[in-house]
Structure 1
Amino acid sequence: MRLTHAAIRPSAEAMGITFDGRPIPALKGETVAAALSAAGELTLRYTHSGAPRGLHCGMGACFDCLVTIDGRANQRACLAKVAPGMVVESAVPAQPAPLATRPEGQAPQIECDLLVVGSGPAGLSAAIAAAEAGCTVIALDERDAPGGQYLKPLAASHSNAAPDRQFRQGAALRQRALDAGVTFHFGATVWGGFAADEIGALVEGCNTRFRPRRLVIAAGAHERPVPIPGWTLPGVMTTGCLQTLARANRVSPGDSVVIAGNGPLNLQLACELVEGGVRVAAVLEAAPFPGLSGLRQALRLAAAAPDLAWDGARYLAVLRRAKVPVIWGARPIAAEGEGRFAALRARTPTGQIRIEADALALNLGFQPETGLARALGCAHRFVDSGLGRLETVTDEDGRTSIPEVFAVGDGAQVGGARIAFARGRLAGLAAARDLLPGLPDDTASRRALARAIGFQDALWRFFAVPEFDARTIADTTTVCRCEEVTAGTLREAMALGATSLGAVKKATRAGMGRCQGRMCGASVARIVGASEEAGWAAPRAPLKPVPAIALAMEKPEWLEGPSATPRPILPSHHIPATGPAETCDVLVVGGGALGLSTALYCAREGLSVIVAERGEPGQGATTANAGSLHIQLHAYDSAGAEEGPESAAAQILTIGPASVALWREIAAEAGEGLGIRTEGGIMLAETPDQLRRLVTKVAMERDFGVDSRVLGANELMDVAPYLAPGFAGAAFCAPEGQMDPLRGLSALLRLVQRAGALVRGGTTIAAVAREGAGFRAETVAGGVIRAGHVVNACGPWAGEFAKMLGAPIPVGAAVQQVMVTEAAGGEIMRHLVLHGSRHLSAKQGDAGHLVLGGAWPGVLDAAGRPRNLAGSIEGNLFVASTVLPALAGLQVIRAWTGLNVQVPGPILGADPRVPGLHHAVTFNGWTLGPVCGRLVAGGICGRAGAGRAFGVGRF
């Protein structure tokens, strides 16, 4: 329905759009979500499982309101503006229209004194302060106007003859910023923070690199999740979402609304709805009735901010006159409805109640939007309040642990608008003072900040944040909205051995969807028991989904990825060994795919095995890889065809097919398919000369018994019609394919434990030496493990571990990148696609998403953590876009990095320099893990083992 108001009237021309073929009336200047809500269309799409979804956060953070607009898939209805004749559909078309135009050249580089990300109260205040001080200031905002949630302006579809205080304040600040010379870029999505002076953003669809001397992050907050049964139903949305519909667009999703949660925003929304003609069935406040202690806080509120205190009193009076029940101490239990919301069940001090309504607004607090600050490496702290939240650590001026970066407003620490205004101004002045020494301090803003902090403290005491107990979330309740992961699935992963947030995330895919964990991260962390910064999932570039084609920019290729120096395998100190020693036949150091495979086949030979993994098993390269099952020689391994059949690269051809067969055995024993598909790998040639090289390569592969052949240009298009035209031909390797590394790790780990091997996570070997006929290993924690054999399966750290035993091997490390797109509307490709002269691997997963890799490099930061490089993301997407035209209609939703092994061919088997030492090291460790582990285990048991081609003796 459309709201009524004496002073606010529609001012824009009426127009027509269609939704799934049905005509929908709309007003120019309003959002697609507003037009559909006014028409009662609350179900906007259906998930992969067939569940209905609608508008939820209303600010572009949750990605639930995705629709297809004029053929462009997965557009956010809450941000997209209507246009005459617009065709909106709930389903993704089989062939989506391109989401952007292909860039010409490289991303423009824009320099400025100060870049402000976000133009809410904090961002506007910072931008104005710095600009008025003489700095060149650029402000970025994803919406089409400044103001944020608190100062959001009325949509262009309406005019207001008597704007209230918030509207007037927002308009005044916007004008003051323009008068000061602030340059605004609206429709700007910040997709990556790679350094304090390197911020990647899409500005009206154009990939742009900003190079500021100082950076202010004022990204705001989003409402914290309220995971109750039914919270994903269309018609259930956040309070901020419903307020945006009502306040900015003058729309309600129904004639009646119930509001539940915590805080004064719920009361403000209820009043605005009542004044617009909506029946508010009830307002349920989780805080207990204030009583006498509340009266004391009310007096504090009135003293600190009499205008805001008066607003609160007015809200209660309006609701009382409208006979809207305000029920204190009430908590939502479940949202009910068939296909859309129909009723709320809640627990109150007097018992359980059920309230029927057309829509439900939920708010139980806010979560700061810390993604960009965390991507840059700013320090954060965990605040154990309510659901819990991460906050950016800053000083009073908003300066973070990175001196050039400031973080202010609710996006840094939740504190409300008054604190945001003051901190924003202080941050803008501090940034300007760095560049223009001598600027005076602003004592008035510091006094205002002190008053605002006092007001907020009293407000939080008045609306006391209820405690959150993760045990109250039922197993059947969806926690991760994007990937449809339930609380029970999370708990099952923990029961099977995943202990950290990262391990649970990889085991369940929670937090891996479009919203990057914004809507589930805190809930998942609570269920897992993570209560510190290290336990929270790291943000990934892109920080929000962006059109893949918009980032596709050609970059130079390289022969070999740049080497990296990983953090030392040993910490700076360890506890001296004490207590009784454990004993085993075989100690495997390293719990990745190769180490676990070695343990599996040793244990099946009747040997007692301990796997010592310093982190959690398989949480490194094993689950950071792209899941390709490679058999043919890679473009960057093709030297094997020139070095001859005795080279290690060529000899891999003898073991690759066997390893894929072992993965199938592991899947069968685990009782699931593990997403294994071997429908062939295609390596493309762009020119006749490249095709001739592939002919030589294929000949060698066939000599080793690999089912490989050459495809001419016409045959290639018959086999793979989804490819771009113009390729000269390709090599086709029939047994290549892909699998799901996350499911594969879980299955392998279960089989290892079932075989009797002991897998010890969090066990770092601090020292190891020969002792008699075996070895003595000491752990950092002070434990001792005695073993007859030691297997070096340390991956990128294998060279360092080998030095501990005086047996160095040539092993390095490289940070490599993988990306994934959103799911396509249908099947695009069935093959694994490689490029004969460029770095690319591409495949489509069972869920419909494309996985893109090919050894594009990342980098290690100062703390030794792998990070993405903007150029690698852009270059990888460029190569992929020249191969797969369908990529133009998809958004890339995540890129990640992992440490990979750099080694001149596998190093497997016994080391003659140290009797009892065995190496299990290789690149392409995911594909080759099972067979290499079996070969190493065979050598330990006295059989032939890996042979001379892979032995350490060749070095």
Structure 2
Amino acid sequence: MRLTSPAITRASAPIRFTFEGREVEALQGESIAAALSAAGILAFRETAKGAPRGLWCGMGACFDCVVTVDGRAGQRACLVKAEAGMRVDGAPPADPAPLAAAAEASREEACDILVVGAGPAGLSAAIAAARAGAHVVVLDERGEAGGQYFKPLAKSHAHAAPDAQFRQGAALLAEARAAGVTIHHGATVWGGFAPEEIAALVDGAATTFRPRRLILAPGAHERPVPVPGWTLPGVMTTGAMQTLARAQRVSPADRVVIAGSGPLNLQLAYELLAGGVRVAAVVEAAPKPGLAAWRDLLALARSSPDLAWDGLRYIATLQRAGVPVIWGGTILACEGTDRFEALRIATPSGERRIEAGAAALNMGFQPETGLARALGCAQRFATDGPGAEIGRLETETDEEGRSSVAGVFAVGDGAAIGGSRIALARGRLAGLAAAREIGLAAPEDSGARRDLDRAVAFQRALWRIFAAPAFDVAAIADATILCRCEEVTAGDLRAAMAGGARTLAALKKETRAGMGRCQGRMCAAAVARLAGAPAAEAAFAAPRAPIRPIPAAALMREVPEAQIDAPVIEAPAPIAWRSPSVPLAPADRACEVLVIGGGVLGLSTALYLAREGVDVLVADRSEPGLAASTANAGSLHVQLLPYDFGDKAEALGTAGPAAATLPLGPRSIDLWKEIARDAGEACGIRTEGGLMLAETEAEFEWLRGKTAVERGAGIETHVLGANELRDVAPYLAPRFMGAAFCPAEGQIDPLRGTAALLALARRAGARVAGGVAITGISREGAGFAVATEGATIRAGRVVVAAGPWSGQIAALAGVRLPVGGLVQQVIATEATGPLIPHLVAHAGRHLSLKQGPHGHLLIGGAWPGTHDPATGATRNRRTSIEGNLWVAGHVVPAVAGLSVLRAWTGMNVHIDRAPILGEAPGCPGLFAAVTSSGYTLGPVCGRMTADAVLGRERMPADFAIARFG
């Protein structure tokens, strides 16, 4: 319904667009979500499992409201403005239209100070810095400045008597413009690669900002309220419903119920009433303030009398209107089938069921810390204020907003929850401090410090009044969804925990929780608490680039192969963070065979040894399968890759050590299929063939030499001409002369494959110990004493299967293994319909492209990331993302119609392209198990290693350690 008010009138004529073929009336300037809500349409789309979804956060953070607009997939209905004649659909398009114009040359923009976010904190900081003489640029994702608190009235309406909140927001924006601040609206910041390298999409063009100082003020989003039915259309956050009401003059229903905790719920109820909506009830989790709260009430009145008066006015208005305010009420469930119908709550006087057409829920806020974390800013785990039982990450800063990273400031609710007045004061202090740091004369501001002190006093008193009882995360019912994007339930997570997953990182890879569009914003805190993870930053899902989904087409930029620098890391540092160490059980302090490393190669070795009755223990520094085994894209390679030939101008048709490895690929893929069969699930295995494309005559000639080598090793490969290629792969661009086609190639879901392998190894009797770091290996009689952080493991034989860290582990026993590491990236797009059945590579470009089992395109090809030797962390390079996407779009034009959801890096093995397997000369009983293309070859190399340990097989000379002398 549309709200009414004598002071607010329509400022634009009605327009019309279609939703699922139905004509919908809208007002120019309002969002698609507002227009649909006004028409009574609350379900915007269906999930992959067929569940209806609508608006949840209302600010573009959750991505639950994505729709298709004029063939463009993944558009957020809460942010996209309605336009006359547009066609809106809930389902993804069969043939996605390009989401952006082709990227041109890389755009860069320098400025003194870059501010991310145009809410109270960001605008206040920008004004202070600009008045001191700084060149200030502000980036904000919304179409209008003001953030959630100062959000202005949409251009669809005019206000004859705006309230104080509207007036203050308009005045702040006018100050910013008068100070000369440049504000880019609709600008998405998608990556922070360094304080002076901030990647954004501005006016549809990819732009890299190079500021001298960076101020982060991205605001906050409302925390999840994981109760049964919270994903129903019609259930949304209080902030989402307030945006509809306050900015768009719309309510999703003529009768609503509001529940949770905090004064925002009271304000929303007051504003809805004024617009003609029936408010069924306001349910407040905190107990009703009694006489003991008088000190806090006095503190509110003393520190911010206007806000205190507003609160009293809201409550008095609700009482006069007969709206029940239920104190001490706990949300039990949202009821309904295809949309919300009723809220079930527990109150001090018993359970109640409140019927309504829509529900607004708010149980506190969580800062948007993704960009700060991507830049390495230190975080703290906060448990004060609403939502304390789940907790939240906040960026550590001093009073002027300086973070732990030089040149980076963080202010407002995006750094620490505190409300608009704290944000205004801290923003001003940060803007002045940043200006001083670049040499400008910026005065101290004692007034801002006084304002800050008053605002902090007000906020502390407010939180004490609205101190809600703890939400028992452990009591969440198994059927309740925790991860909205991937539809992962509490039961799914508990089952993974029962199977051995102990941290959010492991749960994420086991269940896909946190892998959706919102990157864990709506579930990471709840999942971490459910898992009993430590209260620390590492317990949360790591931020990925892009920080938010971004159109692939906007980032595509050609990076010549000659510019791809992938340095070999001779001794990669282990990742500083790992799952908490667990004391070794007495039974795990002795074994016949100790396998060091719980990736696919180590687990495969353990599986085949355990099936032979060997007492085998797998020790992993973190948790099994959390490194390269689940950071790769799951390609099942059989063909030789372009770099297996070295310089193509030399000795075409020779591949050195890689040629000897060729027969292993088909054998290993057959073993993967056996593993899937034995585990009782498909593991996402598809072998529909692999294509390697030739774009030039030289590349086509090279393919002929390559296929000759492969056929000589018994591999079935064919050379296809241009016409044959178009018949086999119509999804490709028409520029290719031909391709090599290998029918045996394909893909696997590495998450499911690793989980299946781990389960089979345990079922066979292998013991798996996580959180065990190896610190020494010494000879003890005929066996070994292997020192760990907490105990010594005595083993008859040792298998080193630690991937790129194998050289360092072997060195503890005096064995040299020439193993290093390469940081490589993978990019995942949003899901789309069936498009690419093959594994696609390019003879002259870095590319590995396929469509995963969930419909996402997975794009790789050995594009490099960076490695931090101090922490062991790996990170994306912006140029690698841009270049990788350009090649993918150059090969498959449909990529331009998809958004990139995330890009990640992992440490890959660097060796001489043939496995290093078998017993170490001069160190009997110590075996190596290392290979590149490790996911493909893991099972077969594990089988060969197990046979070598059992004395059944002499390792071929091409793979033996002795080949290194």
* Pairwise same-fold verdict (TM > 0.5): yes
2:635 counterpart (628, 633, 645): 628
Aligned to 2:612: 605
Aligned to 2:506: 503
Structure-to-structure mapping, 1:313-392, within 5 angstroms: 313-384=312-383, 385-392=388-395
What is the deviation of 1:436? 2.1
What is the deviation of 1:172? 0.5
> Deviations for 1:232-282, whole angstroms, at most 9, x for unmatched residues?
111110000000000001000111100001000000000000000000000
Whether the aligned pair in 1 keeps the contact of 2:652 and 2:705 (CA below 8 Å) is no
Aligned to 2:52: 52
Q: Percent identity?
A: 63
Aligned to 1:13: 13
Give 3-state SS (helix, strand or coil) of 2:958's partner. helix
Asked if 1:403 corresponds to 2:431, the answer is no
Give 3-state SS (helix, strand or coil) of 1:538's partner. coil
Whether the aligned pair in 2 keeps the contact of 1:935 and 1:945 (CA below 8 Å) is no
Whether the aligned pair in 2 keeps the contact of 1:332 and 1:344 (CA below 8 Å) is yes
Whether the aligned pair in 2 keeps the contact of 1:415 and 1:456 (CA below 8 Å) is yes
Whether the aligned pair in 2 keeps the contact of 1:793 and 1:919 (CA below 8 Å) is yes
> Deviations for 1:654-675, whole angstroms, at most 9, x for unmatched residues?
1110000000111011000000
Asked if 1:34 corresponds to 2:34, the answer is yes
Equivalent-residue separation in structure 1 for 2:54 and 2:319 (angstroms): 31
> Deviations for 1:327-382, whole angstroms, at most 9, x for unmatched residues?
00001111111211111111111111011111000000001000000000100011
Equivalent-residue separation in structure 2 for 1:437 and 1:119 (angstroms): 23
CA pair 577-272 structure 1, distance change in 2 beyond 3 A: closer
Structure-to-structure mapping, 1:98-497, within 5 angstroms: 98-106=98-106, 108-384=107-383, 385-436=388-439, 438-497=441-500
Aligned to 1:751: 760
Aligned to 1:555: 559
Asked if 1:880 corresponds to 2:888, the answer is yes
Range with bigger deviation, 937-946 or 610-619? 937-946
Whether the aligned pair in 1 keeps the contact of 2:115 and 2:214 (CA below 8 Å) is yes
What is the deviation of 1:816? 0.6
CA pair 737-413 structure 1, distance change in 2 beyond 3 A: same
Equivalent-residue separation in structure 2 for 1:742 and 1:3 (angstroms): 49
> Deviations for 1:90-141, whole angstroms, at most 9, x for unmatched residues?
12120011100111222x1111110000010000100000000110100000
Aligned to 1:614: 621
Give 3-state SS (helix, strand or coil) of 1:155's partner. coil
Equivalent-residue separation in structure 1 for 2:372 and 2:954 (angstroms): 50
CA pair 945-381 structure 1, distance change in 2 beyond 3 A: farther
> Deviations for 1:456-514, whole angstroms, at most 9, x for unmatched residues?
00000011133121112100001101000000000000000110110000000000000
The amino acid that maps onto 1:288 is P
What is the deviation of 1:580? 10
- What RMSD over aligned residues (CA atoms) do the two structures have, in Å? 1.8
Equivalent-residue separation in structure 1 for 2:219 and 2:574 (angstroms): 38
What is the deviation of 1:644? 7.1
What is the deviation of 1:912? 1.2
Whether the aligned pair in 1 keeps the contact of 2:829 and 2:858 (CA below 8 Å) is yes
Give 3-state SS (helix, strand or coil) of 1:343's partner. strand
What is the deviation of 1:437? 5.2
Whether the aligned pair in 2 keeps the contact of 1:31 and 1:81 (CA below 8 Å) is yes
Range with bigger deviation, 714-723 or 527-536? 527-536
The amino acid that maps onto 1:567 is A
Whether the aligned pair in 2 keeps the contact of 1:615 and 1:761 (CA below 8 Å) is yes
Equivalent-residue separation in structure 2 for 1:229 and 1:585 (angstroms): 49
Whether the aligned pair in 1 keeps the contact of 2:99 and 2:896 (CA below 8 Å) is yes
What is the deviation of 1:946? 3.1
Equivalent-residue separation in structure 2 for 1:577 and 1:831 (angstroms): 45
> Deviations for 1:211-233, whole angstroms, at most 9, x for unmatched residues?
00100000000000001111111
Equivalent-residue separation in structure 2 for 1:442 and 1:584 (angstroms): 67
CA pair 87-711 structure 1, distance change in 2 beyond 3 A: same
Whether the aligned pair in 2 keeps the contact of 1:645 and 1:651 (CA below 8 Å) is no
Give 3-state SS (helix, strand or coil) of 1:950's partner. coil
1:923 counterpart (928, 932, 943): 932
1:788 counterpart (796, 811, 821): 796
Asked if 1:838 corresponds to 2:845, the answer is yes
Equivalent-residue separation in structure 2 for 1:167 and 1:280 (angstroms): 23
Equivalent-residue separation in structure 1 for 2:939 and 2:717 (angstroms): 22
Aligned to 1:637: 644
CA pair 153-579 structure 1, distance change in 2 beyond 3 A: closer
Whether the aligned pair in 2 keeps the contact of 1:577 and 1:779 (CA below 8 Å) is no
Equivalent-residue separation in structure 2 for 1:178 and 1:100 (angstroms): 29
Give 3-state SS (helix, strand or coil) of 1:731's partner. strand
Equivalent-residue separation in structure 2 for 1:731 and 1:577 (angstroms): 50
What is the deviation of 1:606? 2.0
Structure-to-structure mapping, 1:726-741, within 5 angstroms: 726-741=735-750
2:715 counterpart (692, 702, 706): 706
Whether the aligned pair in 1 keeps the contact of 2:575 and 2:873 (CA below 8 Å) is no
Whether the aligned pair in 2 keeps the contact of 1:152 and 1:170 (CA below 8 Å) is yes
CA pair 577-175 structure 1, distance change in 2 beyond 3 A: closer
What is the deviation of 1:283? 0.4
1:567 counterpart (556, 573, 581): 573
Equivalent-residue separation in structure 1 for 2:313 and 2:675 (angstroms): 66
What is the deviation of 1:806? 1.9
Give 3-state SS (helix, strand or coil) of 2:561's partner. coil
Runs in 1 of length 4+ with deviation above 6 angstroms? Answer: 569-572, 574-581, 643-646
CA pair 646-282 structure 1, distance change in 2 beyond 3 A: closer
Equivalent-residue separation in structure 2 for 1:607 and 1:177 (angstroms): 72
What is the deviation of 1:440? 2.6
What is the deviation of 1:802? 2.0
Give 3-state SS (helix, strand or coil) of 2:359's partner. strand
> Deviations for 1:706-744, whole angstroms, at most 9, x for unmatched residues?
121111110001000011111010000101000111111
TM-score (norm 2): 0.97
Aligned to 1:814: 822
1:545 counterpart (546, 549, 562): 549
What is the deviation of 1:864? 2.1
The amino acid that maps onto 2:674 is E
> Deviations for 1:876-932, whole angstroms, at most 9, x for unmatched residues?
000000011111111010111100011002111111121111110111110100000
Structure 2 residues without counterparts, runs of 5 or longer: none
Whether the aligned pair in 1 keeps the contact of 2:576 and 2:872 (CA below 8 Å) is no
What is the deviation of 1:772? 2.0
1:941 counterpart (945, 950, 958): 950
What is the deviation of 1:549? 0.8
Equivalent-residue separation in structure 2 for 1:537 and 1:347 (angstroms): 32
The amino acid that maps onto 1:175 is A
What is the deviation of 1:15? 1.1
> Deviations for 1:155-188, whole angstroms, at most 9, x for unmatched residues?
0010000010011001111010001010000100
Whether the aligned pair in 2 keeps the contact of 1:216 and 1:405 (CA below 8 Å) is yes
Whether the aligned pair in 1 keeps the contact of 2:238 and 2:265 (CA below 8 Å) is yes
Structure 1 residues without counterparts, runs of 5 or longer: none
Aligned to 1:950: 959
Equivalent-residue separation in structure 1 for 2:69 and 2:821 (angstroms): 45
Equivalent-residue separation in structure 1 for 2:853 and 2:656 (angstroms): 36
What is the deviation of 1:560? 7.3
What is the deviation of 1:952? 1.3
Aligned to 1:803: 811
CA pair 141-580 structure 1, distance change in 2 beyond 3 A: closer
